[in-house]
């Protein structure tokens, strides 16, 4: 058996997410209780690259359970194995493998185990370290709920609550002005936020990336509602949704990022099509980063604390290269490497889809 962990390094990678601080708090307090040192790595893997490490004591993590974001900072551009370091004379982005620099940082601070908190991109960034023998444990975080191997990630339910409240609020203005309101929510290629918030808000149409939609079917549903005296329509639209035979709408690309595609604009397109094809006045709303911010909901505080505790249990049992997971309503773990560079998408037989159809929700198919 390996020597027990004495010094833990904690980092939060990828986009910020409600509940990150709850995990940091749980890991730090539990580790200190077991006589371990805890070091916070600032701004995700960028802190390893730039050697920005600081000790975490109990006073550092007190009263952060309800605070959104992360006290350590994060970065969704720092992939040590393929880090953007500048541009060449032609203006092209130059990438470099800085894994060795990170390994030197870990060694210089005596960090013998990493707790990596993040989604599929963060686990992909962690993979080279695991392959090099660095002891690591992963904690699943993403508002998109699209990480392979776990039924639920913390941060997701907070995003769903925020999106649902927004849909509830546009409901009243849509009814007052007899409009179609199209609300665009986050999720990238996974429609979990749109599906959950759409059902919770009673949206009339839900558009998911996993189910390319027929815009004629959407407009027909809007028109039928009008003929039945329902003079408004609420559409919950995932940012990654796209029409049959078409493609996702890309707002812009960022070549310095490991995930360069920035989706956005589908709600505006759908809104315009509805107005042109039905004559029903339409508006669109893009929630954007509002879904990522603010205090985590009660469920995410509990789940994040459970995940932090489970990560420490894996470390105490010397079960490394594992990702904490939630399956079938219970805590378990799966191999970290299997979760790297994968996405958990909404399956066609998802019960929530069937439930939505039973109350006449249109998916544009």
Q: What secondary structure does DSSP assign to 240-291, as a single string?
A: T--BTT--PPEEEE-TTSSS-EEE--HHHHHHHHHHHHH---EEEEE-GGGG
Round to whole Å and give the CA distance between 95 and 93: 7
DSSP β-ladder status, 37-41 and 7-12: parallel
Location of structure tokens 């880090």 = 83
In the structure encoding, which two tokens stand for residue 232, read together? Answer: 């408004």
In the structure encoding, which two tokens stand for residue 34, read together? Answer: 């077991």
In the structure encoding, which two tokens stand for residue 364, read together? Answer: 């544009």
Q: Which of 37, 112, 144, 146 is catalytic?
A: 144
Q: Are 352 and 199 in contact (CB under 8 A)?
A: yes
Q: Are 47 and 11 in contact (CB under 8 A)?
A: yes
Q: Are 39 and 55 in contact (CB under 8 A)?
A: yes
- Alpha carbon 81 to its chain's center: 22
Round to whole Å and give the CA distance between 126 and 41: 14
Longest alpha-carbon distance in the chain = 72
Q: Are 275 and 223 in contact (CB under 8 A)?
A: no
Active site (annotated) includes residue 144 = yes
Half-sphere exposure of 216 (CA within 13 A, CB side): 2
**Which is nearest to 122 in space by CA: 74, 189, 192?**
74
Q: What angle do CA 13, 138, 131 make, to 5 degrees?
A: 95
Active site residues: 144
């Amino acid at each position: 058996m390996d020597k027990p962990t004495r010094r833990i390094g904690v980092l939060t990678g990828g986009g910020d997410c409600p509940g990150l601080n709850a995990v940091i708090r749980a890991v730090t307090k539990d580790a200190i209780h077991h006589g371990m040192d805890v070091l916070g790595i600032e701004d995700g893997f960028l802190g390893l690259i730039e050697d920005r490490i600081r000790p975490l004591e109990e006073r550092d993590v007190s009263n952060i359970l309800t605070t959104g974001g992360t006290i350590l900072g994060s970065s969704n551009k720092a992939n040590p194995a393929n880090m953007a370091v500048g541009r060449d004379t032609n203006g092209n982005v130059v990438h470099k493998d800085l894994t060795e620099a990170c390994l030197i940082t870990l060694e210089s601070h005596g960090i013998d185990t990493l707790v990596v908190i993040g989604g599929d991109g963060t686990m992909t960034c962690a993979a080279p370290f695991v392959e090099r023998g660095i002891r690591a444990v992963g904690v699943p975080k993403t508002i998109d709920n699209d990480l392979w191997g776990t039924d639920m990630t913390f941060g997701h339910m907070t995003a769903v609550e925020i999106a649902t409240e927004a849909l509830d609020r546009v409901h009243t203005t849509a009814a007052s002005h007899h409009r179609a309101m199209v609300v665009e929510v986050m999720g990238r290629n996974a429609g979990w936020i749109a599906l959950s918030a759409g059902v919770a808000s009673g949206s009339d149409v839900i558009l998911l990336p996993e189910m390319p939609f027929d815009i004629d079917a959407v407009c027909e549903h809007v028109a039928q509602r009008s003929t039945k005296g329902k003079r408004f329509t609420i559409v919950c639209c995932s940012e990654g949704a796209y029409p049959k035979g078409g493609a996702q709408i890309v707002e812009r690309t960022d070549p310095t990022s490991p995930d360069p595609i920035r989706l956005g604009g589908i709600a505006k397109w759908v809104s315009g099509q509805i107005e042109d094809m039905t004559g029903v006045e339409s508006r669109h709303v893009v929630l954007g980063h509002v879904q990522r911010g603010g205090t985590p909901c009660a469920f995410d505080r509990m789940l994040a604390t459970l995940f932090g505790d489970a990560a420490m249990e894996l470390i105490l049992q010397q079960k490394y290269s594992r990702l904490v997971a939630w399956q079938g309503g219970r805590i378990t773990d799966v191999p970290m490497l299997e979760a790297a560079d994968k996405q958990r998408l909404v399956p066609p037989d998802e019960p929530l889809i069937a439930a939505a159809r039973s109350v006449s929700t249109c998916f544009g198919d």
